[in-house]
Amino acid sequence: MKNNLPLDESSRNRLDKKSILFHSFQWVITLFSVVLLIWLISSQNWDQILQTLIRIPIWTIVIVLLLNFVGQVLNTLRWSILLNSQDIHVSIWQLIKIVLAGAFASNFLPSTIGGDMIRLIKINQFSHNQGLNFASIVLDRFVNVVAFLTILPFSFSIWPQAVADKNTQIMMMATLNLSVIKKWFQKSWYQFITAYKNWAQKPWVVFQAFVVSWFSIFVIFMGLWLLNLGLDIQVKLVQVMGISALSYFITMLPISINGYGLREVSITFFYTLIGVSPDQAAIFAVLSRFLILFVTLPGALFLGDFKDLKQIKVNRNL
């Protein structure tokens, strides 16, 4: 037994070093993406940018914020459907607080404290079946990804112009997206199958969760489209949906912290492909991120005490 201890400690040290290197790499890519975005914005005509921002109707901002909040409520409803089917009954208000706390953690806290971990800690206070609680979060995440997959075909709406211009970059980005999706499914498939076993006899429940998930992202797309119109960016709703889906899967790459910078740079790139000026595209990317983050701010009030954080053994790659 004693002979195995040094080996175990050595293995842990190697894993710790790899983890440190990986997170350092994430920070480097994040900083690079943010610096690139700042350079892109700073090189534009700021007088024109400020005039554009001033002209955005207040009602547009209010509606976009409301639609983003509705998206969070629908995310809560999706999870509630999965939980209720397993006789885990938590009030919608409590679940909204948990979802907002998780969203806040994902957006503002270090990546080592993921939003799913926060959700698991919180739901464990209402249900002692930790395995089933964990499975509900895995399935909830998977259903949301599948909903985004159904949106991905709309990205073809931005391809004709790129192909006509013989733009090879869009093809590279499309290939990158397919690679990300493939790797994510390879990594998550076992977790999904394990989690789905609990709902295998209730496929209608999973389908209901999928429908709710689809509407939860559609209202976000509507908000993004209205924001585009407020910035005088003339794009079609299907283009907004396609670009949002592409950027969503790009930010699934584990190369930046919470997708910061990477999302904004990718959105700016895709919008320029359909004729939007770089300054308009960059401002839209930053402003849309700000509004999405703003809606999750109330989650800070619901984080509570996480003294049990270190005691919970959870897969951080959830």
Domain locations along the chain: 4-311
**Residue found by looking up tokens 């904004």 in the block:** 264
Question: Do the beta carbons of residue 102 and residue 299 sit within 8 Å?
Answer: yes
* String of DSSP letters for 255-311: TSSTTTTHHHHHHHHHHHHTT--HHHHHHHHHHHHHHHHHHHGGGGGG----TTGGG
Q: How many CB atoms sit inside 10 A of residue 221's CB?
A: 21
Exposure of 164 in the CB half-sphere (CA atoms within 13 A): 9
CA distance 258 to 30: 9
User: What pLDDT does residue 14 have?
Assistant: 54
User: Could you tell me the end-to-end alpha-carbon distance of the chain, in angstroms, rounded to an integer?
Assistant: 32
pLDDT digits (tens), the chain, 318 positions: 444 444 455 555 555 555 555 455 455 555 655 565 565 556 555 666 677 778 888 999 999 999 999 999 999 999 999 999 999 899 999 999 999 999 988 877 655 457 888 899 889 989 888 889 999 998 999 999 999 999 988 888 776 655 555 455 555 555 555 565 666 666 666 767 777 888 988 899 999 999 999 999 999 999 999 999 999 899 999 999 999 998 888 887 665 556 667 788 889 889 988 889 888 888 899 899 889 888 998 988 887 755 444 444 444 444
Provide the pLDDT for residue 200: 86
The torsion angles phi and psi of 311, rounded to 5 degrees, stand at: -85, -15
Q: What is the pTM of this model?
A: 0.77
- How far apart, in whole angstroms, are the C-alpha atoms of residue 47 and residue 49? 5
pLDDT of the residue at 184: 60
